[in-house]
Amino acid sequence: MKTNTGDQTQLTKIGTWLPTVVGLALVATIAASATAGPGNDNRAPEGPVDIAVESGNKVHFHGFGVGVQIYTWDGVTWGAAVPEAVLFNAEGVIAIHCAGPTWESNSGSKVVGAVVQPTATVDTNAIPWLRLRAVSTEGPGIFANTTFIQRVNTSGGKAPSTDGAFIGQEARVPYVADYFFYRKTKD
């Protein structure tokens, strides 16, 4: 087994996935302006029952995420993914998505989630669809009082199918997904 001996490169460099991410974001923005785009559509997504959000909660925000899932080779597996993404709606960039998993809006509100099992594999070539329970929220804004988050309509983001070359090697795998944020209903 090899270890990182110096300036060895990441599996995927930013220059190889950035044009794809920008292109997908452009397509999403055009589609959003032609319809009730992300952020303005408060309908719950259609999807597997396994990831449905319980009654008494309603979608309050929908964003389109574009970014990478970051995997680190530990000598045996690629380990758990860490997201690094940007969320868009019809107005543009709305939030960032990072480890935790955490979402932080431009206005400063923040939500941290925890995956609720089971997850749903809808496309074997993409990361699973998820339901997450909000474990904490901070600040006023779009993520205030969030109760659940769904990640659906995923494309890409799966860990490499081949072993890493050295311990600590990173694979930055491009992905896109729709994120739906829920709050308790008042009725």
Domain-wise residue ranges, the chain = 14-184
Distance, CA of 54 to CA of 181 (rounded, Å): 13
Distance, CA of 130 to CA of 50 (rounded, Å): 9
Distance, CA of 42 to CA of 48 (rounded, Å): 18
- Cα–Cα distances in Å, from 98 out to 9, 60, 95, 174? 22, 21, 10, 14
Q: Per-block average pLDDT, block size 10, for the chain (187 residues)?
A: 40 44 45 44 84 95 97 97 96 95 95 96 97 96 96 98 97 98 88
Distance, CA of 174 to CA of 163 (rounded, Å): 18
CB 94 within 8 A of CB 63: yes
pTM: 0.80
Q: Which tokens hold the place of 147?
A: 């109760």
pLDDT of residue 44: 86
